[in-house]
Amino acid sequence: MRDPYLRGIEIMTKPIVRAVDLRQQVYENLRGRITSGEFDDSTRFYERTFADEFGVSRTPVREALAMLEQDGLLSQAARGYRLPRMSRQQVIDVTEIRLLLEPHAIGSMVRETKPAKLAKIAALIRKEVEASRDSDAYIAAHGRMREVILNEVKNRSLVDAIQQYEDSIHFVRISTLGRPGWRRMSADGMLDLADALEAGDDHRAAELQLTLLTKARDSFLEFSETDA
């Protein structure tokens, strides 16, 4: 029979399980919804709105919104927060950096991922592209496709560097994928990328990502000039 004294020590030394961090939960929920394209440029982010939605006090919501602002995914408005706006030059500058990082990331992912896994990613991309008839659905699908690909990149420092520009990525996404012409172009490009992944062609995958980024930038510049 075990010594009751030793059993008492064992119980006392068990780690204390802390209460779930509400701020982190709210932050992760909203971050995922922002980067997936659930919100558009007209959305306003108010503490009370999300406090009511999540059933929490305004404090964790306030802190989560501040964290999202630090990430560059929100900017302060006259009241509350909104999605950030970017100038044409900012989009040009960030795309220049993305052109250096993302083709390399996808190429390395193809080289370092097993064929069976690449086939699954390709199948998922083809499935998500089916949403391209609807702008909101495709914006969300586009975010998911990107997340699946980046999750397989082994160099997490490279992924962190890319994800510093999530605000720009999402801004360009919602600014362009609402247009049927660019949405079709994007969907076709993603299907070509799926073929390259399934074939294990790292050079082709990198080239296609470079092309997609360039076309997204050019489409944004064209549309922003038209809307000006």
pLDDT in tens, 51-86: 999 999 999 999 999 998 887 788 888 889 998 888
Residues 41 and 56 in one domain: yes
Question: CA-CA distance, 112 to 189, in Å (whole number)?
Answer: 22
Domain boundary among 82, 107, 133: 82
φ and ψ at residue 41, rounded to 5 degrees = -65, -20
Which residue, 168, 175, 187, is CA-closest to 97?
A: 168
Residues 171-186 have a mean pLDDT of 86
Domain boundary among 36, 53, 82: 82
Residues 49 and 141 in one domain: no
Residues 73 and 96 in one domain: no
Which residue, 112, 115, 118, 169, is CA-closest to 142?
A: 169
Question: CA-CA distance, 31 to 34, in Å (whole number)?
Answer: 5
Residues 131 and 181 in one domain: yes
The domain tally of the chain equals 2
Scored b (16 or more CB within 10 A) or e, 17-47 reads eeeeebbeebbeebbeebbbbebeeebebbb
3-state secondary structure of 82: strand
| Least confident piece of the model among 65-69, 136-140, 182-186, 214-218 | 136-140
Residues 57 and 151 in one domain: no
124 phi-psi bin (left φ>0, alpha ψ -120 to 50, beta other): alpha
pLDDT surpassing 80 at residue 115: yes
Residues 101 and 76 in one domain: no
pLDDT band at 36 (very low <50, low <70, confident <90, very high): low
Which residue, 71, 39, 41, is CA-closest to 166?
A: 71
Residues 30-37 have a mean pLDDT of 78
Residues 111-131 have a mean pLDDT of 96
Q: Using a pLDDT cut of 90, give the percent of the chain over it.
A: 57
pLDDT band at 20 (very low <50, low <70, confident <90, very high): low
Supply the pTM of this predicted model.
Answer: 0.69
Question: CA-CA distance, 167 to 76, in Å (whole number)?
Answer: 14
* Domain CATH number, residue 162: 1.20.120.530
Host domain of residue 114: 88-227
Residues 76 and 114 in one domain: no
What distances in angstroms separate CA 175 from CA 20, 40, 68, 83, one per listed residue? 36, 9, 20, 12
Going by the DSSP 8-state scheme, the letter that residue 18 receives in this structure is P
Residues 161 and 186 in one domain: yes
Residues 31 and 123 in one domain: no
Residues 25-47 have a mean pLDDT of 84
Residues 93-116 have a mean pLDDT of 97
pLDDT surpassing 50 at residue 17: no
- The tokens for 103 are 């083709």
Residues 56 and 98 in one domain: no
State the pLDDT at residue 226. Answer: 55
3-state secondary structure of 76: strand
